[in-house]
Structure 1
């Protein structure tokens, strides 16, 4: 049995029963700063066949290996962990997309923008952190060291990434983040224009007040 824990929140367990799984996950929770609400779980089959004619053979929802060594464990665990984490980040991004969709619908109906500058900046930070987590912490664009050095591990690595569609899902996530950035630029311009309008009105009122005082002085002297 093996358990692999990743700093971005994924845990991969090999050959654990349900009760053992719960027990070991509770141990991991003691070292977590925060927990992601309801955990998402995904099962995948890894079958070991020492007599397999080839190093590995993959099909839908299962991969067969001739040897279950530490490099195969690292490769399979990393892809499974990234897949689960991508689901989590995709949900976050979809929620941000929904926020901007509501804002756009509101502007279409009323012609006004109601989000505060602080809330908008929080969304910007969240989008930036999401992209940084996916690329840096998850290492989604990185290739396994074993896959670089050995063609057999490279085939396992490529099969697993294709099986879980990591490249396509990352492209989809990146596309949505670009949409968010486009909306952010648009609404920042709206806020900036609103601020400029307020400053213009303040200047107009100050000028009007100064003119009013001047007229009063003239009339008073007359």
Structure 2
């Protein structure tokens, strides 16, 4: 297990006004979170004050992440790649640009996201939950989960980490939100709308050890 940063290149490119989000009159934090937790239109394509404000495919944005992962991991020919919490599957689509012979699979609990995913690979996506993955043991050559598992409550997180470990062979990577000091904790609380697992890096390491997760990881901080 190692800490490997694939995500800072995207996370740090976004400017955030933490106080504006938490103090908005039309979408106060509780209302924004209530809408976002449905993972429906408002979360993906609604007002920016709720979440993404229009989650559209941008050529090259996710390709750099996919390329970094392909360069880092020693994958076999025609590897099977699973994205847990794939959303609209833009990353999976860009994996095919970088590694045309790969077999991509995605799972997400949002029916809206899958219905509005990249049409070219929509038949590779499954509506489901991270706590019960419908694939056999050691099925995938690379399993990834980006900005998803921190949305789970403790009982679900326990199951999801064990499932991620179960279906992957060796190469696994997850990215979750975290905090190292009270400033980052406050910013995370102000900005997030779906987070349920507010863990420090040490607490995340405790979860990994508890569940037997052996893959790589990285943390997103709201500095």
Bin the TM-score by the shorter chain.
under 0.3
User: Which has the larger share of strand?
Assistant: 2
Normalised to the residue count of structure 2, the TM-score between the two structures is 0.26
Decide which structure has the larger Cα Rg and report it: 1
